[in-house]
Amino acid sequence: MARSTPDVSTTGKKKSQDSTNSVKPPLNVPSAIGLTLTPILAVILVPWYGYSVGFSLYEWSIFAFYMVATGLSITAGYHRLWSHKTYEAHPVVRVFLAVWGACALQNSILHWASDHRRHHRHVDDEDSDPYAASRGFWFSHIGWILRQYKTGIDDFSNVKDLMRDPVVAWQHKHYKLIATATNVLLPLMLGLLVGKLWGVLLLAGLLRLVLNHHFTFSINSLAHIWGSQPYCDQSSARDNGLLACLTYGEGYHNYHHRFQYDYRNGIHWWHFDPAKWLIRLLSLLGLAKGLKRPSPVQIQKARLAMQYQRALQRMEERRDNEAWREGLENAYQKFLSLLDEFNKVQQEWRQLRREQIRTTIEGIDLQRRYADLRSALKTHRRQWRMLTALAKG
């Protein structure tokens, strides 16, 4: 995320032309000034005003609304709706997300989605990824915005579908006007309404902007440095539950890079993912449809492949390497076979349920096979955990 957040198709570790060139690219002056001054002003003015005047519940409420509206408009809107098209939304929802996404001051949907799609296509490639984590924390967090790097040159060839979207086209054309209205005019109005002008401007305007910027930027930087890789190691992306709490669910970044078409980032019920909950709620209200997600078997296979790969790596130093490798390979292939068979029977069982013919001989037999496979998978999963645990020893 950044001016733009964040399946991996290409990776690269080579030095970029920008990084090997001794002459630094020219500064992006407006971005450099804005991203330097706003944190300084927030650190000085917000505590000073809070100490000398104090903030009311009204001012904190406006701040909270702005934080949530802009944050979710980036995650559920810019990222999951437009960049990855993980679901479809009602025009009213699309306009709301476009307006408050502009308020986040992370550029228009076209710019953001174009950068983000290139990031996924060329993740970690220093010559093509706009905010490649392989170039270091500073570059991926904010440095890529401060200078006019070649990887940041506007190229809308990968967002032609979005250029045909009337809401996206409208927001792109009127981006500055929308951003000004929501960041300046609306806070002024809300502040003057109750005589709390400076309090609203400082909290909903300044502090909110700084926090949302750096929470979003942390997905490009920290989420490629800090965390686990349970689904894929073809890129630097990592899962991090703490970052998910700051970024409305975007912290499950390793999963996202493996299954970028999923409308969820946190797949389990206990995963903190407000963007997922919002999209699901909109679906229940009839305001969203076509929610995409991989099957549980696809997810299980991705985790299984990583566990198998790591177990093989750990066994390289064992004296009985070959015997362990053969046993692990047999267990892995059996697990995959069970998953495939379970998936097939599960689909057949669901079809019978839809047709309401579960009481037929065919239905009873399929139900028995389904139950047997579930039990076999449970047993094999337990054996697999024991086998991979022994490989650590």
The better pLDDT of the pair 377, 306 is held by: 306
Distance from C-alpha of 277 to C-alpha of 210, rounded to nearest angstrom: 25
Distance from C-alpha of 220 to C-alpha of 226, rounded to nearest angstrom: 11
Categorise residue 209: left if φ over 0, alpha if ψ from -120 to 50, beta otherwise. Answer: alpha
Distance from C-alpha of 185 to C-alpha of 237, rounded to nearest angstrom: 38
Residue 319: is it exposed, middle or buried by C-beta count within 10 angstroms (0-12/13-18/19+)?
exposed
Going by pLDDT thresholds of 50, 70 and 90, the confidence category of residue 185 is very high
Closest to 211 measured CA to CA, from 45, 61, 70: 70
Report percent pLDDT > 90 for the chain: 65
- Cα dihedral 283, 287, 289, 294, rounded to 10, equals -40
Per-residue pLDDT reduced to its tens digit, 285-343: 999 999 999 998 899 889 988 888 888 777 776 656 676 677 777 777 877 877 777 77
Which runs of consecutive H residues, i.e. helices, occur in the chain?
17-20, 29-52, 57-72, 91-103, 109-121, 137-138, 144-146, 160-163, 166-173, 175-180, 186-193, 197-200, 208-220, 241-246, 253-258, 274-284, 296-314, 321-355, 361-392
The reported pLDDT for the residue numbered 152 is 76
Once rounded to an integer, what is the mean pLDDT over residues 242-250? 95
Report percent pLDDT > 70 for the chain: 85
Q: What is the rounded average pLDDT for all residues in the chain?
A: 87
Residue 13: is it exposed, middle or buried by C-beta count within 10 angstroms (0-12/13-18/19+)?
exposed
Q: Could you tell me the CA-to-CA distances from 378 to 318, 344, 372 in Å, in that order? A: 28, 17, 10
The reported pLDDT for the residue numbered 363 is 65
Cβ-based neighbours of 199, under 8 Å, separated by 6 or more: 49, 53, 55, 56, 59, 191
The reported pLDDT for the residue numbered 349 is 66
Question: Domain limits of the chain?
Answer: 17-289, 296-392
Least trusted range by pLDDT, from 84-98, 99-113, 174-188, 344-358 = 344-358
- Checking if the pLDDT of 352 tops 70, the result is no
* CA-atom Rg of the chain in angstroms: 24
Going by pLDDT thresholds of 50, 70 and 90, the confidence category of residue 373 is confident
- Checking if the pLDDT of 347 tops 80, the result is no
Distance from C-alpha of 197 to C-alpha of 111, rounded to nearest angstrom: 32
Per-residue pLDDT reduced to its tens digit, 82-107: 999 999 999 999 999 999 999 999 99
Going by pLDDT thresholds of 50, 70 and 90, the confidence category of residue 11 is very low
Distance from C-alpha of 105 to C-alpha of 263, rounded to nearest angstrom: 23
- Checking if the pLDDT of 271 tops 90, the result is yes
The better pLDDT of the pair 190, 332 is held by: 190
The reported pLDDT for the residue numbered 336 is 81
The reported pLDDT for the residue numbered 356 is 60
- Checking if the pLDDT of 390 tops 70, the result is no
